[in-house]
Each structure stands twice: as C-alpha cells, then as structure tokens.
Amino acid sequence: MAEQQNFDIVVVGGGPGGYVAAIRAAQLGMKTACVEREHLGGICLNWGCIPTKALLRSGEVYHMLHHLDEYGMSAKDVSYDFPKVIKRSRGISGRLSKGVAHLLKKNKVTVIDGHGKLDGPGTLAVEKDGKPVATLKAKHIVLATGARARSLPGMEPNGKTIWTYKEAMVPEAMPKSVLVVGSGAIGIEFASFYHSMGADVTVVEVVDRILPAEDEEISAFALKALTKRGLKIHTGAKVADLKGNGSGVTATVTTKDGKEQSLSVERAILAVGITGNIENLGLDGTKVETDRGHIKIDPWMATGEPGVYAIGDVVGAPWLAHKASHEGVICVERIHGINDVHPLDVTKIPGCTYCTPQVASVGYTEKRAKEAGHNVKVGRFPFIGNGKALALGEPDGMVKTVFDADTGEFLGAHMIGAEVTELIQGYTIARQMEATELDLMHTVFPHPTLSEMMHESVLDAYGRAIHY
C-alpha cells in the first residue's frame, strides 16, 4: 500500500514552471512536494532551451572559424568532433538539472520520483513503473506537466530518420542534408544549427512567412538573411508523402505556386507545434476542462476543479519557459493570499529565437496594434548604422518600435540581429513599467553599444533619429 503524505501544496512536474512554483511556495512557508517522473528541469533544461543554445553556440563558433579572414585572421584545417559537440550540450543540461535538485533541497521541497495522477478531491496518487509510490494529500495541487512535440497525420516521427526535437538534439552523426517542417522558433533554431555545421538545409512552412508569430517586417528580414546564408526556404508550402527508409527520408513538397517537387534528405525534423501532456492525469470525473490538448484556466491559473491549478505549456501559448515560471509564481502567491499579485499580461512577455541572426520581440506587432484600434507611430534603426555592430562584424539587423501616436504609450518592440535576445529585456522593462516615448527618449544609453539602436529606433518614431 502506498504511503500517505500530507502537504499544503503539491506541484506535478519539475520543469521551469513546476520547480519555480514549488520553490516559491516553500519560501512562503507552505509544506511543498514536487512530483517529477523523468528529469528535474523538464523539457526546457533537458531537451529544449538550454541544450539547443549549447548546440547553437557550437554552430556559431564553427561558422566564425570559417570567416576569420573578415577579422584579419586565418586558421587551417578547421573541423569539429560531432560527438563532443553533443556531449558538451548534454553535459550542460546535466549540470543544471543537478542544480535544480540542489535548489529544491535547499528550500526543503520534498521531491517524489514518479507519475502523479488526481485521485479524488485533494488527493494525488503517485506511481513509478506501474507500481504505487505514495498517496499525497494537499489542499492545492498544481499541474505543471508541460507539453510534447505534435505530429500530423502522414508525418509521424520514427525516431531514426524522421525526428522530433529530442532526436535532433542527440544525433549519432552529422547528417549531410536536413528537411525542417515548420518555421517557428524550434524549427528555425534547428535549421540554423544544422546549416552552421555544414548540412544542406531545407525549411518548409505552410503559412506565407517564416517565424509567423513575429512582426511581418522581422519575418521578411529573417527570410532574406537566412536565404542569404544558404538555407532553402519554402513558405506557403506543404509537405506530403513524408517517408523514412533505412538511410534517409523522401518527401513531396508542394510550393505556393502549386508545383510539386520531390525531395530526398538524410533526416527530417518535425517542428509543427506542441500539445499539452494532459493524458493519464486523472482529469476524467473532475471539473477540469481541456481545449485542443491544453488545460483551461482562469487568470489566476485555477481550473474548474476546486483546489486544482495548471501552469506552463500544458495551458497553452505562448510556450515559453519564462512564461511558465512567472505563472508558477502568480499561482502560488495568489493561493497564499498575497494582495499585490497581478494576472499575467502576455503582451509583456518577451519572445526569443536563437537562430543566426537572432530574433526577439515584446508587445504588439505593428499589425496587431492597428487591429487593436491604436493609431501608431513606428520607428526603425538598422544595425549597419551602429558602430558597435560594425566593430563586431554584425551589420545585418534592425530594431523596430511601435507607439500609440495619441498617448505615446510604448506598445511593442521587434528586433533581429546579433545579441537581440539579450537586448530585448530593456524593452520588456519599459512595457512592464508602462513607459511612454518620453521615458525612453530621456533615458541615456551607453556608447558604443548595440543598445544605442534601441534609443535611435524610439527617436526615429518621432522624427528625431540622430544617426539615421
């Protein structure tokens, strides 16, 4: 018989939403348990955010080594050890996973290894390998079970030649050619990495532009930049007859003009979205509602079932680790009764794509701002006009800012180019603090930095750009 344990709150899932929620609950004096069936840190730390950035960094270094002449240098016989590239990525993930375990222990969170399933009001049954481990009792249960790669009919991964992000992260050898189906952040990051490492990469996107969540100008800039680097990209196109064989993959690509072309590659990567892990959670018989593979919640992360909450990827877009973490904090602080907790505003959540060039954004796109009824002012500044960008050898990129023309409210920012995933936080703070154009205009930006372009873009929106 499984041991019964009592807690104030139980978090199901140890990813960036779950472990943060558990730690915050413990900080607030709640007796807390975190149930995790695989690896602490979740998909983000073990199979997503962190290891992909390690791979992308290796790709950047390898690419730079082949362009040393641009910096007045040279090197002979440049090569890479692919197993070492993968080993480095996995090592970083392993180190951080141990770090999460340490943080949970430090904060006196009880970690239980197993799969959690609702088993009546205030009860969670935990099992491992089909055997009962524990019965947990808690007034509050937070579901942070994450999501997994989605597959489409006729495009199912086989783990060998047709990959999801997991197989793409740990290949045994470097493929000579790769087809990437989908051009969201995951697809474009893998396309960028494999191209940097020397693969012939083809990207197929069903909608009319890549990175469809981004501002249209940024999408167009990214398409031009990636094509210039040598990637083959088809937008408004479809993949059919995707078949894996012993040595590779064959597919039929229907382009936007209706023409069909046959494609043979060594590997295909499916990046067509994700779906929440809602199966086998004991939701049947509860008032928890789901919609298209995700759990429905109110602004405080509560489900329809009293005492049951959900956060992170399992509740839907945007599927971002930092969004999950913030939801975890909101959820727990609301449960604890903290008065100054505010519902999540997704327009204040930055999005980052770590391809080359990088893409980052926060707030409204120009199109969305207009659709929301704003009369907009738009500013732009190109990387080629910035001294630091030229010194870095990174002249390709732009910064775009969107304001309400009547009130001066800062509505959004959209960036493409070197290190914009770091720069975007400045604009994120501006969104959080409800900045106006005057706040940003009167801020002193250091010189020489890439961040100066953020200032110039604001000035440009009001006809005051100095260097453009």
Strand pairing of 410-416 and 398-404?
Answer: antiparallel
User: Residue 23's Cα: distance from chain center in Å?
Assistant: 22
DSSP bridge partners of 240 = 252
Concatenate the DSSP letters of all residues of 320-367 into one string: -HHHHHHHHHHHHHHHHT-TT-----GGG--EEE-SSS-EEEEE--HH
Residue type, 394: E
Give the residue from 349, 311, 350, 348 showing the smallest Cα distance to 331: 311
Q: Which of 371, 370, 351, 373 is nearest to 362 (CA)?
A: 351
Enumerate the active-site residues.
Answer: 447
Taken as a whole, the chain contains a residue count of: 468
DSSP-derived letter for residue 70 is G
Dist CA 329 CA 307 (whole Å): 16
Token pair, residue 143, equals 């579901």
Compute the radius of gyration of the chain from its Cα atoms: 24
Q: Three-state DSSP class for 259?
A: coil
Amino acid at position 236, single letter: G
Torsion of CA 192, 193, 194, 197, to 10 degrees: 120
Residue 291 CB-half CA count within 13 A: 7
- Exposed e or buried b for every residue in 302-324, given b needs 16+ CB within 10 A? bbebebbbbbbbbbbeebbbbbb
